[in-house]
Amino acid sequence: MARPRRALRSGRLRKDLRRQLLPAAQAPMTDSGEWPPAGATELLWCVSAPPEGRLMLAAYAKRTYQIDDGRLSLADEQIPLVVEPVVEEPDEALPSWLKDDTDLLAPKPATDVVVMGAAHALEPTEELHVSVAAGRSVRRLCVQGERRVEMGADGRAEFSPGASFDSVALCPQNAYGGRDLHAQWALEEDELGQRLLDLPEPLRPQETVWLYEYPRNPVGQGFFLDVDRLRADGARLPQIEDPGDRLTPERLFRRAPTAWIDAPIPGQLGWVHHSWYPRLVRYLGKMLDHDPPERELREASFPDGDDLRLDHDDESSRVDPRALQGASPGLAIERLCGGEQVILENLHPSRSRIELSLPTETPKLRIRPSHVDALTPAAILQTVRLEPDRDRLSLTWVGAVPLLGPVDDDFIMNTPLRVSWQRG
């Protein structure tokens, strides 16, 4: 039985994707033994821009602001650029998840809006809605207290009422998804080519990709294949859901591994891992087998997911530029430029609603390679990171110019970059 799915989950895939998008040779170490310098908020880097993979010299500038009841001021602590993706890997045998993505990517088609924190109720409750809006990028989610699956003897599922809560972490572990290890054990062949169960169609293994991990979120709750239903009794259910695509008892069990496409999408406001759907297909084409959708693809209902209605070419070596987008569906719709209104609801421990405007100051970038005139690429806003629990907002900007070919270590290390900030 083929196992291409397992290859897609390997650490090697993540490294291959990184080489594809961040091809710069590592510059020599500084006197402190580090490159880039620790704490850098301004940096030059060489990146590969999809779809053609053209090399570009990119200048990055990041600025962090303190939020005080909707008013912004420059933060005392400036958060450095994220060089390597921050990946949480609890165990080699378990899937990883993306806590924070690298800042060092080619210019993105749109600005990623990412919320890192928790849902908060000012008084204990069983359910509330959280939302974020920045310009036209909007996402609303339903948050519930802890619930469990209750299985009847007839194999029918019910969901327990939600427990009372005052805070729920906005992490993929609390959203829909997961890995069905029981089904993997039951459905895979042993050394003698035997299986634990005499399986009916459509669960009989075939020469296709087998999906025991939910491709949208393999670290979440509630993903079950329709094998041994009673074993789901007492299982945790997702606490964070998309209100337009919620899990119901009727949707709890997937009839086949390839029916994952019609399962609920995870309720997230944070980052989408590079090897999760839909980001993976934008990198590598149609690599994830699935049945024809029986319902409208939820991601495609957002303005930043219209490309998912089409089949990505699995024979093309090109990376779709939208693969650079790491924000959750609905939160990478347009390129923001500063001044847009931001609204946060039920995302702060002491305020149910926060309204602010993005800073209007932008970086003026000046690159001074030797023997050529200074380069002044226009800066675009790559990423808006919102951390309401810390009353913090960070903006990452980039300006890039095309290169005729690869550059060596000395070029990156010795080319001066000057950043000055000006109000728009």
Query: Could you write out the DSSP letters of every residue in 374-423?
Result: -B-PPPEEEEEEEEGGGTEEEEEEEEEEE-SS---HHHHHHS-EEEEEEE
Instruction: Please report, for the chain, how many H helices and E strands are present, in that order.
Output: 5, 23
Q: Which one, of 140, 159, 327, 149, lies nearest residue 244 by Cα?
A: 140
Beta strands at 253-254 and 224-225: parallel, antiparallel or unpaired: parallel
Q: Give percent of the chain with pLDDT exceeding 90.
A: 66
Secondary element (H or E) of residue 6: helix 4-8
Q: Which two tokens stand for residue 282?
A: 């934008």
Interval 245-266 mean pLDDT: 94
**pLDDT(312) > 60:** no
**pLDDT(150) > 60:** yes
Unique residue bearing structure tokens 């990423």: 383
**pLDDT(271) > 50:** yes
- Phi, psi angles (nearest 5°) of residue 389: -60, -30
**pLDDT(160) > 80:** yes
Predicted local distance difference test score (pLDDT) of residue 92: 66
Specify the pTM.
0.88
Instruction: Name the more confident of 61 and 32.
Output: 61
DSSP code, position 328: P
**pLDDT(4) > 80:** no
**pLDDT(255) > 70:** yes
Instruction: Kindly report, residue by residue over 101-138, the tens digit of the pLDDT.
Output: 999 999 999 999 999 999 999 999 999 999 999 999 99
Side-chain half-sphere CA neighbours of 397 within 13 A: 23
Instruction: Name the more confident of 62 and 320.
Output: 62
**pLDDT(347) > 70:** yes
Predicted local distance difference test score (pLDDT) of residue 93: 66
Range in 32-36, 88-92, 313-317 with the lowest mean pLDDT: 313-317
